[in-house]
Amino acid sequence: MARFHSLVTLALAALAPAAHAAARLPAHLRDTGLVAAGTRDEIAADALPFSPQYPLWSDGAEKRRWIRLPRGTQIDARDPDHWVFPVGTRIWKEFSLGRRVETRMIERTREGWHFATYVWTEDGTDAVLAPAAGVRAGVPTSAGGRWVIPGTADCRACHEGQSNPVLGFTALQLSSDRDPGAPHARTAHAEVHVEDLLARGLLRGLPAALRTMPARIPASTADERAALGYLHANCGICHNREGPLAGLGLDLLQSLAEGPASVERTRASTLAVRALRPLGEAEVRVAPGQPAHSVLFRRMGARDPLDQMPPLGTEMPDRDALALVERWIHSLADRRTP
């Protein structure tokens, strides 16, 4: 096992291209600030655990997340939809499939955001910086499968699809008014919410309304709230009014600043709207009462590379989310479309 560890370490170090060197990224996860000095697995005291109420689907992988701000700094929260993080902010996300397989990190520098992935050795003793191209052949999981390590370009494709590259650390995602219908959400009490960040003095400028009432999606039913939250987190990162796909006119990103108008905009861009590229018998984005005739529902379940959504980071459909979206679409049968 020690020999395997050494071979993996040497192989990844040899493959890591100049792009990582130029970014001055540490070669080992233990040197990024996530792990307490002098320990192998103890999380540093200033790395705060958090969990978005609408997590991104990653083929059933278990995930843990942490954020660390430079001492004495704050997040500018004046715009509830676009928090501004201080230079030096680091955010980590750990993926496990029976064992830890990778930990991703994003860091805000003066030059912009840097992305890195650290691959865990099979014995779990070390996590080594992956090459910027990723590991397309994958790394073994404890169940005998392989987990593909994304490249930097893959990270950017998702994180830079909107103006705020931090996807899961927002006023909506960290609301203490957790959505009980959200698929795959964690509810650990040790993880921070907006109120905790305020109490720690880590937020400044948060609108008064969000100080007195936790954020939530103002949907008309519980299933719609959960479905729109799932689409916000899993699809809205690309399908929104700000990113490179804005011209499609599909807006699944919810805005706290706009409130109910944001939900109405999502309905207007989906319900009975003809899809630009139909899929089989499905010709509109969402056909009220007819999931099988809804392109959005069909693409969520597809895994043909030409049809699947999201196009990256998943090889298996999210069955829980499909069941939720199916219920939501059925509930729209009696609603008048825009």
pLDDT 10s digits, 170-185? 999 999 999 999 999 8
| 182 CB-near residues (< 8 Å, 6+ apart) | 53, 54, 55, 226, 229, 230
Give the lowest-confidence range in 37-41, 152-156, 246-250, 267-271: 152-156
**Closest among 54, 65, 133 to 95, alpha carbons compared:** 65
Going by pLDDT thresholds of 50, 70 and 90, the confidence category of residue 13 is: very low
Q: Give the span between the Cα atoms of 73 and 44, in whole angstroms.
A: 17
83: tokens are: 């928090």
Around Cβ 261, how many Cβ atoms within 10 Å? 11
Q: What is the pLDDT of residue 141?
A: 87
Residue 153 CB partners (closer than 8 Å, separation 6+): none
**Distance (Å, whole) CA 229 – CA 183:** 10
Average pLDDT over residues 261-289: 96
Tens-place pLDDT, residues 115-137: 999 999 999 999 999 999 999 88
Q: Which of 211, 208, 217 lies closest to 194, judged by CA?
A: 211
The predicted-structure confidence for 68-85, as pLDDT tens digits, reads as follows 999 999 999 999 999 999
Q: Stretch 273-301: mean pLDDT, rounded?
A: 96
Task: Report the distance separating Cα 251 and Cα 238, nearest Å.
Answer: 9
**Is the confidence at residue 16, as pLDDT, over 80?**
no
The SS3 of residue 241 is coil
Place of tokens 């843990």: 64
Share of the chain above pLDDT 70, in %: 90
> What's the pLDDT score for residue 183?
96
